[in-house]
């Protein structure tokens, strides 16, 4: 069983829709990351969270430490948001990655 | 460009070849990492270097040999690879030894072993 579970695995939505990607984890963590991987493979770090909520442009990330759950939201989604979104947690000096959510935004 | 540069971007090699992957960062980071991403699998940590010292080797076969000559450069030497080693190899760096802080990834090297 993977310590980090993401849902959904795949998501297709229309441009403009509000997107939510979820991440649940089973270990006690010191921080959680949301990463974006583009089709060519390049990875961009979006957020690092240890509590509460962070916002950057149209992206919002929240974390609930008690419930061991984090969400990544995209408002007013755009085709250029199409990518794989990866949740990763820091635990015992290691980083454990989820399998990613493949997001496809249709124009 | 993220500040972490990997070369080459694509590499095709035979099972008897020897090749090296290169990673370079000028972000002032002191920790560098090699990750492997196989199809439909999560990212797997291979090696960690903190202040040029290897601090983690995640049960990686000896046909993968890392080298970190200074805190800005990281190499992954490859020899006698197997077709199942075909994957995307990602380099990352972070500030100091604190995992995750200022974590920056390179664009990766797509390796195909034939």
Write the pLDDT tens digit of every residue in A60-94: 999 999 999 999 999 999 999 999 999 998 777 67
Is there a contact between B99 and A41 if contact means CB atoms under 8 Å apart? no
Distance CA(B41)–CA(B56), nearest Å, equals 21
Q: How many helices (H) and strands (E) does chain B have?
A: 0, 11
Distance CA(B51)–CA(B100), nearest Å, equals 15
Range with the lowest mean pLDDT among A23-37, A41-55, B4-18?
A41-55
Q: Number of CB pairs < 8 Å for A and B?
A: 49
Digit-coded pLDDT (tens) for A8-24: 999 999 999 999 999 99
Minimal CA separation from B29 to chain A, in Å? 15
In eight-state DSSP terms, residue A31 is E
Torsional class of A57: left (φ above 0), alpha (ψ -120 to 50), beta (otherwise)? left
Is there a contact between A100 and B42 if contact means CB atoms under 8 Å apart? yes
Minimal CA separation from B14 to chain A, in Å? 23
Confidence at residue A46, expressed as pLDDT on a 0 to 100 scale: 87
Minimal CA separation from B17 to chain A, in Å? 24
Residue with tokens 């190499």: B75
Instruction: Please report which confidence band the pLDDT of residue B96 belongs to, taking 50, 70 and 90 as the band edges.
Output: low
Picking from A41, A88, A97, A101 by the largest number of B CB atoms within 10 A of its own CB, the best residue to mutate is A41
Q: What is the dihedral of CA A14, A18, A23, A29, to 10 degrees?
A: 140
Instruction: Please report which confidence band the pLDDT of residue B98 belongs to, taking 50, 70 and 90 as the band edges.
Output: very low
What size, in residues, is chain B? Answer: 114
Residue with tokens 């040999």: B65
* C-beta separation of A106 from A79 below 8 A: yes
Confidence at residue A1, expressed as pLDDT on a 0 to 100 scale: 57
List CB contacts (< 8 A) between A85 and chain B: none
Confidence at residue A102, expressed as pLDDT on a 0 to 100 scale: 93
> Which residues are registered as beta bridge partners of A12?
A104
Of A2, A43, A94, the CB nearest to B90: A43
Say if residue B1's pLDDT is above 80: no
* C-beta separation of A29 from A89 below 8 A: yes
């Amino acid at each position: 069983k993977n310590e980090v579970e993401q849902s959904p695995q795949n998501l297709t939505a229309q441009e403009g829709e509000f997107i939510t990607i979820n991440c649940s984890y089973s270990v006690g963590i010191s921080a959680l990351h949301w990463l974006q991987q583009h089709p060519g493979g390049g990875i961009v770090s979006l957020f690092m969270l240890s509590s509460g909520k962070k916002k950057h442009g149209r992206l919002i990330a929240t974390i609930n430490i008690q419930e061991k759950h984090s969400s990544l939201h995209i408002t007013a989604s755009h085709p250029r948001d199409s990518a794989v979104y990866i949740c990763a947690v820091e635990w015992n000096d290691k980083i454990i990655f989820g399998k990613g959510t493949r997001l496809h935004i249709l124009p | 460009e993220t500040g972490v540069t990997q070369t080459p971007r694509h590499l095709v090699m035979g099972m008897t070849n020897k090749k090296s992957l290169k990673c370079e960062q000028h972000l002032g980071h002191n920790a560098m990492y090699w990750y492997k991403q196989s199809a439909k699998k999560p990212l797997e940590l291979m090696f960690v270097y903190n202040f040029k010292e290897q601090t983690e080797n995640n049960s990686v076969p000896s046909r993968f040999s890392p080298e970190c000559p200074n805190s800005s450069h990281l190499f992954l030497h490859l020899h006698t690879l197997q077709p199942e080693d075909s994957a995307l190899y990602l380099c990352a760096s972070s500030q100091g030894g604190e995992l995750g802080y200022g974590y920056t990834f390179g664009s990766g090297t797509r390796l195909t072993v034939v």
